[in-house]
Amino acid sequence: MSNFDIETVRSQFPALANDQVFFDNAGGSQTLGTVIEAIRDYLSRTNVQLGASYKTGKLSMERYDAGFAAGAKYVNAEVPEIAFGASTTQLLRNVSFTLEFDEGDEIVVSSIDHEANIAPWVDLAARQKLVLKWWTPPLTSSDDASNTSINAQLSPSNLTPLLTSRTRLVSCTHVSNILGNIHPIASIAAAVRAGPSPNALVVVDGVSYAPHRPIDVRALGVDVYAFSWYKVR
């Protein structure tokens, strides 16, 4: 971008005006000044009971609805498909408590995922006596004169052998938060749909992907896609 001015961009983030460098990425990204002001304005002027019939209540509901509409637009989804919560970890845990499978049904869990997309399914398998299958891609390495890199790629080819007629759920990450690999989610979802249990749920952790690339859940063809808004600015 020829007109890109890094100082202009930095000036939009109040925290960056301080004499401090923020490297705690796990804590989320720094917040735009316009976002801070929007939150302040909402809490100052319209922080009332949602659904009320008086003027301020209606304005509050309009702003609330606009938030859901913006979220839906951001990921190319419908408004009723959007759910906001405390974090990806909590949201995926909540999803796991809405599901009910039969004893002996199978769920496939990627072993290279963040714990947010592992623990809920391990717990679900234990509670409902399900068969837990670990999806572990083969490790490959490449060497050159300057460095050695390790790669572990989730793919339809290493998923398909795990799928059976009793598969009910497949979980994986869009981007490995350890290795940084971008996994072919659309192809993975297509492999599930073409497999012996085409109605199995595909659940994706997009936390490490969302801050860096546009998201189109329609194109991905997944059932659940979760990420953390506080890491996307």
Question: Could you tell me if 67 and 100 lie in one domain?
Answer: no
Q: Which of 51, 81, 111 is the last residue of a domain?
A: 81
Give the model's pLDDT for residue 192.
98
1 band by pLDDT with thresholds 50, 70 and 90:
very low
User: pLDDT tens, 41-51?
Assistant: 999 999 999 99
Question: Could you tell me if 92 and 49 lie in one domain?
Answer: no
Parent domain of 131: 88-231
- How far is the CA of 106 from the CAs of 63, 90, 136, 161, 168, in angstroms? 42, 23, 16, 13, 6
Question: CA quadruple 194, 216, 139, 104: dihedral positive or negative?
Answer: negative
- Rounded to 5, what percent of the chain is helix, strand, coil? 40, 15, 45
Question: Could you tell me if 103 and 77 lie in one domain?
Answer: no
201 falls within a domain: yes
Phi, psi of 36 (to 5 degrees): -60, -45
Cα distance between residue 231 and residue 233, in whole Å: 6
Q: Which of 81, 96, 113 is the last residue of a domain?
A: 81
Helix (H) and strand (E) counts for the chain?
A: 8, 7
- How far is the CA of 148 from the CAs of 141, 142, 144, in angstroms? 7, 6, 7
Give the model's pLDDT for residue 142.
65
User: pLDDT tens, 56-97?
Assistant: 999 999 999 999 999 999 999 999 999 999 999 999 999 999
Check residue 18 and report its DSSP letter.
S
Per-residue pLDDT at 145 exceeds 70: no
Q: Which of 39, 64, 81 is the last residue of a domain?
A: 81
Please count the structural domains in the chain.
Answer: 2
1 falls within a domain: no
54 falls within a domain: yes
